[in-house]
Amino acid sequence: MAQAKRSAVRRNYPSADTLGRPEGGWRLSLYRIMFEADCEAGRRFDQAVFVVILASLAVVMADSVEFLAQRYGRVFTYLEWTFTIIFTVEYVLRLLCVRNPWRYALSFYGVVDLLAFLPSYAALLLPNLTFLIGIRVLRLLRIFRVFKLRVFADEYAMLGRALRASARKTMVFLSVVLLIVLVMGTVMYVVEGPENGFTSIPTSVYWAISTIATVGFGDITPHTPLGRFVASVMMLLGWGILAVPTGIFTMEMTLAETARRRGQMRTCQVCMTPGQDQDANYCKHCGARMEGAQAG
């Protein structure tokens, strides 16, 4: 039971207790394949689902290109319905093999799984809802599950820790940036005005964000000397400000990694001096033989 719980958590679904892991029979077999990744069949099922998701996404993307849609429109429609049926069957099977279908249906991935095929049926009834098929892209969120299961677990955990550690500082910083962008956007609206493309304060704020983030689309640009001066100041400002999130994140990660590596170091059991290297045979301070030293 504990094992089932662990694997369910690892797969980002509600835990086994919540979903209601069946006690035996074909429903237990199905459950283990569809919700757990401990057995070979479960892993293969995960991979197959992943490939189908990618294929269905490729079709959605290709179908949005007019040139391809005109040529292969019929093929795309066939593929589209094939994927829709696969996703529908998968969803129904998932519903069948858990003891609390509602818990699954209302969980985050339950909703994502539903949205993967519902728009296709909706578009059948109401043709002008076709664009909703794009919602299928949400299925890609399952990608995270695949990564979680495998070799990148360490990297994920460490990046996550550093991001969490920087989160508060970044929020504080972001609020300052939003304030600057609001003030600067209003200033530019007043300075440049609608006749130079700064048609409203929200538009000016959009421009200010694109400038301070050094994106600079160029769809709106200052034309008056004063506006250009303000823009120049903003660009230099944004340039310096770029340093702040980078600095925060770099620091948090460096300190976390340093602490982790130091944590792997050993302490002399005689003089209690910490910071002994992993491969030390003798204490660097008192010369006592270290525990686990290789035969001299």
Cα distance between residue 160 and residue 154, in whole Å:
10
Choose between 100 and 221: whose C-beta lies nearer to a second copy: 221
Kindly tell me which residue out of 44, 71, 164, 261 binds a second copy, with binding defined by CB under 8 A.
261
* In the complex, least distance from residue 274 CB atom to a second copy, rounded to whole angstroms: 7
Cα distance between residue 268 and residue 280, in whole Å:
10
Question: Residues 247, 252, 254, CA angle at the centre, nearest 5°?
Answer: 95
Cα distance between residue 266 and residue 268, in whole Å:
7
| Binding track over 44-73 against a second copy, x by CB under 8 A | -------------x--xx--xxx-------
Residue with tokens 């009834």: 125
Choose between 15 and 200: whose C-beta lies nearer to a second copy: 200
* In the complex, least distance from residue 161 CB atom to a second copy, rounded to whole angstroms: 12
Cα distance between residue 155 and residue 171, in whole Å:
23
Q: Contact, 234 vs 184, CB < 8 A?
A: yes
User: How far apart, in Å, are the Cα atoms of 258 and each of 221, 243, 250, 273?
Assistant: 45, 22, 12, 18
Rg (CA), the chain: 28
* In the complex, least distance from residue 251 CB atom to a second copy, rounded to whole angstroms: 5
Choose between 105 and 253: whose C-beta lies nearer to a second copy: 253
Kindly tell me which residue out of 9, 39, 78, 277 binds a second copy, with binding defined by CB under 8 A.
277
Q: Contact, 15 vs 5, CB < 8 A?
A: yes
Residues 142-181 that bind a second copy (CB under 8 A): 143-144, 147, 152, 155-156, 158-159, 162, 168-175, 177, 179
Choose between 3 and 232: whose C-beta lies nearer to a second copy: 232
* In the complex, least distance from residue 149 CB atom to a second copy, rounded to whole angstroms: 13
How many residues in the shown chain lie near a second copy by CB under 8 A?
106
Residues 170-229 that bind a second copy (CB under 8 A): 170-175, 177, 179, 182-183, 186-187, 189-190, 194, 199-203, 205-206, 209-211, 213-219, 221, 225, 228-229
Q: Using DSSP, state whether 292 is helix, strand or coil.
A: coil
Residues 120-139 that bind a second copy (CB under 8 A): 131-132, 134, 137-138
Choose between 93 and 182: whose C-beta lies nearer to a second copy: 182
Q: Is 285 in the site for a second copy (CB under 8 A)?
A: yes
Taking 3-state DSSP, the helix, strand and coil percentages for the chain, each rounded to the nearest 5, stand at 75, 0, 25
CA 77 from chain centre, in angstroms, equals 30
Q: Is 276 in the site for a second copy (CB under 8 A)?
A: yes
Kindly tell me which residue out of 232, 264, 269, 291 binds a second copy, with binding defined by CB under 8 A.
232
- Choose among 183, 190, 247: nearest CA to 209: 183
Cα distance between residue 191 and residue 138, in whole Å:
42
Choose between 52 and 187: whose C-beta lies nearer to a second copy: 187
* In the complex, least distance from residue 128 CB atom to a second copy, rounded to whole angstroms: 12
Where b means 16+ CB within 10 Å and e means fewer, 98-128 reads beebeebeebebbebbbbbbbbbeebeeeee
